[in-house]
Amino acid sequence: MLFNTKPELFIQFRDNSILYMIYDRQKNQVLEQEQLVLDLPVLIEGRLTNETLVQKRLELLIQEKKLKKAKTYFILPDYFTMIRKEKIPIQLDETEIKAYLDLHINGSIRLPFDSPKVDFQVIDRSEEHQTILLTAYPKDQIAAFQKLLEDAQLQPVVADFSYLSVYRTFKTLQAEYLSPDKHTLMIQWHPFDSSMTVFHKDVPQFNRHTNFPRVAQSWEQSKAGQWKWTGTEQELSIVLEDQINAIERFLDFYKYSVMNGETMVTQILLSGSYPDLETLYQKLAERIDLAIVQLILPEQTAQTFAPLYGLQSKEPKAKPKKISKRKQQSVKAEKQPVEEASTVHD
């Protein structure tokens, strides 16, 4: 027998807005989605700001939709996203890997910020070592979002990255384009920032997040969440030309610096909140000789909500079991060389 449960809430905080989606997991149905545009910034360089205003707006939403204590999944800002590969001892099991990382991070494994929250996935094994994909994010930034949601009487259960969630959206809706053998560049293109992530065998290989602060003042967002360019058409054309040049440099960097010239990106997936993705698609097709696939979402779902749509297939992870002190000591004794970080910030 199925019991009625409260719908889940999916949330993403953007520069001046809060995007939310209310999802009924029992019925596998999106009940509502909307973008709340605030008068003051929500994020500045990936960090929460004007927390009191944001919390009050969340509390109004929760009261209106009767979502108190609802399970909440939220997207972390791309600004601090970091992924890289690490080689670790072959004998470590999943629980021991966690202990190994705790011991070596900011020692032999160096990250660009202190006190990171890390996650990992084993992606390859050989006779001598195993390779993990390490994802990291500043722990204090995750805690800030968690506190905001908890103070607003929500129950945060999952924090996710937009590039993983949007990729899940592609897998759900357009899986025929995602061959494991391809090196797929997924671009999330927004009015004044972008995120580019290469996937191979469903695993992210390299990520770059870039802000375009010089053009931010030329974009205006309406209360309905629609973006409008306030500069001239010539200025916009120059901006797009510069951004496409950056994509071409990214493709070259991935081919020659990340893959040592052995392989290259073989297709592009395009999504994002840019107000005219069709024009971007055409400009990319004119400049870049690769197959380009534009994300097609269900009717009534705008591109802006692609990261939230992907949270439908995201489940909370089970907590790993604790390991004995003896095993912790054996893990501590192992030290391995470190691979270079696979994330670059402009």
Nearest to 9 by CA among 56, 19, 164, 167: 19
Q: pLDDT of the chain along its 346 residues, tens only?
A: 455 688 999 999 999 999 999 999 999 999 999 999 999 999 999 999 999 999 999 999 999 999 999 999 999 999 999 998 899 999 998 889 989 998 888 788 888 888 899 889 999 898 889 999 999 999 999 999 999 999 999 999 999 999 999 999 999 999 999 988 999 999 999 998 999 999 999 999 999 999 888 899 999 999 999 999 999 999 999 999 999 999 999 999 999 998 999 999 999 999 999 999 999 999 999 999 999 999 999 988 999 999 999 999 886 665 544 545 444 444 444 433 323 333 323 3
